Amino acid sequence: MIPLLLASLLAVSPAPPRFDAAGRSIGAPLSERTASYVLEARYDPATRHVTGKARLTWTNRSDAPQATLWFHAYWNGFKNAESTFSRGASLSSSARSSTADFGRNDWGWTELRSARLPDGTDVRPTLHWERPDDGNAADQTVFTLTLPAPVPPHGTVTLDLAWEARVPKLAARTGVEKKFTLFGQWFPKIGVLEVPPQRGVRTPTWNCHQFHATTEFYADFGSYDAALTVPRSVVVGATGVRTGRIENPDGTVTHRFHQDDVIDFAWTAWDGAVEVTDVFRSEGLPEVALSVLVPPDARATAPDVLAAAKATLEHGGRRWLPYPYPHLTVVAPPIGANADAGGMEYPTFVTTYARTDPFLPRDVILWEVTVHEIGHNWWQGMLASNEFEEAWLDEGIDTWATADVLDAAGFRWDLHQFAPPGTRWLLAPFLRSSIPDDRIRSLSPVPRFESSIVRPGWRFKAGNEVGRSTYGRAARALRMIAREVGPEAFARIMRTYAERWAFRHPGTDDFLDVASEVAGKDLRPLGVTLLRGTAGLDDAVADLRCKQVSPSPGPGFYDTDGGTPSFVPKPRVSGDGGDARCEVLVERHGDLAIPLDVQLTFQDGTRLTRPIPPGDLWSRVTTQRASPGGRVVRAEVHAGAPAPLDSAPVNDARSLEATPGPVLTLTGWLLYSAQLLAAAVGSLL
């Protein structure tokens, strides 16, 4: 008889792996592997010093020779207070990008020491700092190297780069916080040479922007092999599969990792981390080894993180694309590092949050952050869109995808989870709620937005507008498209988009082309309005009032059959007799013109739907029906199918009675309380 555990394992038939146990692809490469790196780094936490080497192999995908190569030196954004990153951070409201409190010993930098061709020629003397975005002479986050002979069309070049760096204080996805160090964008990284028709370019064009406080990244696919040397007590987690661990005589350890077909390599060096491992197995999907690094005082974080990771791999694997990589590492940084290090994505390596006392049985904060960051492995890791210029293709789609996973798992935001553990019993009656993830991010109630969604991150008016537009507003724009085509067609759109553009570089127009093709209707005009326009949406029931009137004519002169006017005195209305005459005022505060109806619910339970004339900024609907059943007790726009982009859904309905149901937002809670008070006062009058 087969043991029960063994039988359960045998019952799961995983899909054939796409990579072997060393992270190398089985069969044809999944990507073009334009830029591949062999990395070596030695890190001394005591001095925060890094010595690095990289062998870069780059392929010229274009039909034109390329003599000048463009590179990023991201850590120079932390070099001084006048870098483009620092200037932007001082204007941004994001804590992740704040450098305002950097002291003398908190700054970081990176310095290229040499860049040698295979014949030994050092092209480091040709280094030139570029400022393509703002001309800031103090910024050194982009440089070019000029080769003695151009790389021919579709030819390759190999460069051996050597550099030194100082790790900055933890800020904006990288740096040191006590014994924890996060290495993001840490090596000299070549930019992307876009070739026609990629993202609409007409000639081969280098896309290599400066490091801005309000943007993330863009990179080509390649293979990464890394040897990372750290003190023996330091725990290392990284992109890809661990392929070796060598203890050195000087008390250090060299950790080796490898992964094909990824766009980046990130890692953490953490003295004192606790590693928890597991395996994701599901019928028909590739098996994935899971590693979670947590602080010793927040070990209870690991079960939620592992459960959320498995739920994302399951849902994403069946709804979008099977996750092909054999390993996934999730880092829950120390509690004090959550703000600057938590919630960041790299291929096969993401960071989430840590909590010493997670809410049981499932902690919505840990789930939401973990699902969101792992979701990036599809929309940024595998599709590799340009986050400098079209961040919504990653952040917006991933915000939509996060809600998709959480809804499938039955999650709702319950605000009483945010209360301190010892006070939850007391505050639960006031904070208990059930908010879908897609409604947790509010939008400003404005007739129009200040910027379009498709816009380079540094060209938004304010840093907080970048987040509002590329996350929540973009996700709601997607739901507006889903509302137009229906949920089944939209699910096909997202899967087709993922399948067609995996391991490539899609743009906004590519997404809209796929959406139109799959839906069988031209969605480009709607998509352009939502994504490239600034129209806002805020439909509201501004007023609802009812009064009791007699079914007989009101006072005044009325013509008789003979044509002689006769006077009718004011009728008397008593008790519940007569009619209820109700007026509903609907206002359209936004510029986004979509068809609109108002639904009226009467006291007798019947409902009436009236269309609102297109183009009207306001419209009044009047009814008169016999009392008491003819009284309108509730008026609602977007009834049954809320408009996802509505920036103030709390004003979509107005009631003469307290509105039942869950409190969806803090504003909704206040409105609900006001309605209860009004109903109580009304009963006394």
User: Is 307 a domain residue?
Assistant: no
Same domain, 58 and 175: yes
Same domain, 70 and 198: yes
Same domain, 197 and 177: yes
Span of 222-231, 344-353, 466-475 with lowest mean pLDDT: 466-475
Nearest to 241 by CA among 455, 461, 22, 430: 22
Helix (H) / strand (E) element for 150: namely: strand 142-151
pLDDT at 310: 98
Name the pLDDT band for 683 (thresholds 50, 70, 90).
very low
Name the pLDDT band for 92 (thresholds 50, 70, 90).
low
Same domain, 520 and 543: no
Domain count, the chain: 3
Q: Single out the residue in 220, 244, 264 at which a domain terminates.
A: 220
User: Is 111 a domain residue?
Assistant: yes
Nearest to 155 by CA among 225, 89, 69: 69
Sign of CA dihedral 309, 222, 386, 267: positive
User: Is 630 a domain residue?
Assistant: yes
Q: Residues 189-207: pLDDT tens digits?
A: 999 999 999 999 999 999 9
Residue 497 has pLDDT above 70, yes or no: yes
Same domain, 502 and 547: no
Nearest to 454 by CA among 513, 536, 528, 535: 528
| For residue 197, cis peptide bond before it (omega within 30 degrees of 0) | yes
Sheet of strand 632-637, all strands in order from the earlier edge strand to the far edge: 607-611, 597-602, 632-637, 653-655
Residue 386 has pLDDT above 50, yes or no: yes
Beta strands in 483-596 (DSSP E): 539-549, 556-559, 565-568, 579-588
Beta strands in 287-397 (DSSP E): 288-294, 327-331, 344-346, 349-351
From CA 459, how far away is CA 455, in angstroms rounded?
7
**What CATH number did the domain enclosing 653 receive?**
2.60.40
From CA 129, how far away is CA 363, in angstroms rounded?
47
User: Is 413 a domain residue?
Assistant: no
Nearest to 588 by CA among 648, 644, 635, 665: 648
User: Is 246 a domain residue?
Assistant: no
pLDDT at 628: 86
Same domain, 549 and 521: no
Does the predicted model carry a pTM greater than 0.75? yes
Same domain, 192 and 65: yes
* Structure tokens that stand for 305 in this block: 């993180």
Span of 55-69, 209-223, 506-520, 603-617 with lowest mean pLDDT: 603-617
Query: Under 8 Å CB-to-CB from 563, ≥6 apart: which residues?
Result: none
From CA 632, how far away is CA 581, in angstroms rounded?
9
Same domain, 514 and 577: no
Q: Single out the residue in 174, 202, 220 at which a domain terminates.
A: 220
The bridge status of strand 327-331 relative to strand 288-294 is parallel
User: Is 621 a domain residue?
Assistant: yes
Residue 150 has pLDDT above 80, yes or no: yes
DSSP 473: I
Q: Residues 94-127: pLDDT tens digits?
A: 545 555 567 778 999 999 999 999 999 999 999 9
Same domain, 457 and 519: yes
**pLDDT: is 669 or 516 the higher one?**
516
User: Is 364 a domain residue?
Assistant: no
Phi/psi of residue 133, nearest 5 degrees: -100, -40
Same domain, 89 and 160: yes
From CA 239, how far away is CA 381, in angstroms rounded?
11
Residue 520 has pLDDT above 80, yes or no: yes
> In which residue are the tokens 């050195």 written?
248
Residue 659 has pLDDT above 70, yes or no: no
From CA 503, how far away is CA 221, in angstroms rounded?
7
From CA 489, how far away is CA 516, in angstroms rounded?
10
User: Is 584 a domain residue?
Assistant: yes
Q: Residues 459-493: pLDDT tens digits?
A: 998 777 888 899 999 999 999 999 999 999 999 99
Span 241-253, average pLDDT: 97
Residue 209 has pLDDT above 80, yes or no: yes
Span 666-673, average pLDDT: 46
pLDDT at 424: 65
Residue 80 has pLDDT above 60, yes or no: yes
pLDDT at 576: 53
Q: Single out the residue in 513, 531, 549 at which a domain terminates.
A: 531
Residue 285 · residue 308 · CB < 8 Å: no
> Of the segments 298-307, 333-342, 406-415, 540-549, which one has the largest average pLDDT value?
298-307
**Amino acid code (one letter) for 609:** T
User: 543 is in which domain, residue-wise?
Assistant: 539-660
Same domain, 525 and 548: no
Same domain, 70 and 181: yes
